[in-house]
Amino acid sequence: MSLIVDIRKYHLDNLMNDLVNSSQVKKNWWGKKTDTYWEFLKNNFDSIEADLNAHLIADFFVYIIDELKYKEVLSEYTSVIANNRNSFVTLLLPEDRDFLLNVISEEAFFQTFEGFAKKLNGEYYEYNESTLKENFRNLQIVLREITNDHGVLINMC
């Protein structure tokens, strides 16, 4: 099964409650399911095209959450959305951006992350140095889309 990363930019004035509500798959009384999440994102968020290896970015978020004890500012919303979607979701704000950019720009980051990813993936580890650097360069570009007025939503499904 392939992992997909979907990145969206949103205005910070967007109501988080509407996003949380749209993330719920609803059933009517005769069992028909209604899922408006992707339509809500299409209508209210701007898609960001980024050439990212979804597995590598997933490993990065495992690294920062497990090893660095990172907790995003809007974690109370993303935990509900992630549970509703049964996937990883993160809503990033300027404070999150600053933390993540600082982590990526540390001198020992690539070596430390590579060691973590090798241990995490075991025999299935498949990243080389150029893949790591290219993906983290692209992730930095995505993170720089976050401003005082805009955040970034990352879905991994």
d(CA 62, CA 68): 9
For 41, 79, 90, the CA distances from 37, given in Å and listed in that order, are 6, 15, 15
In this structure, is residue 111 part of a structural domain? yes
- Burial of 155 from C-beta contacts in 10 A (0-12 / 13-18 / 19+): buried
In this structure, is residue 39 part of a structural domain? no
In this structure, is residue 19 part of a structural domain? no
Range of the structural domain that residue 97 is part of? 5-13+46-156
List per-residue pLDDT tens for the chain, 157 residues long. Answer: 457 889 999 988 777 889 999 999 988 888 888 899 999 999 999 999 998 999 999 999 999 999 999 999 999 999 999 999 999 999 999 999 999 999 999 999 999 999 999 999 999 999 999 999 999 999 999 999 999 999 999 999 8
Q: How many domains does the chain have?
A: 1
d(CA 40, CA 25): 13
Residue pair 11/156 in contact (Cβ under 8 Å)? The answer is: no
- Burial of 48 from C-beta contacts in 10 A (0-12 / 13-18 / 19+): middle
Mean of the per-residue pLDDT values of the chain: 92
Residue pair 34/26 in contact (Cβ under 8 Å)? The answer is: yes
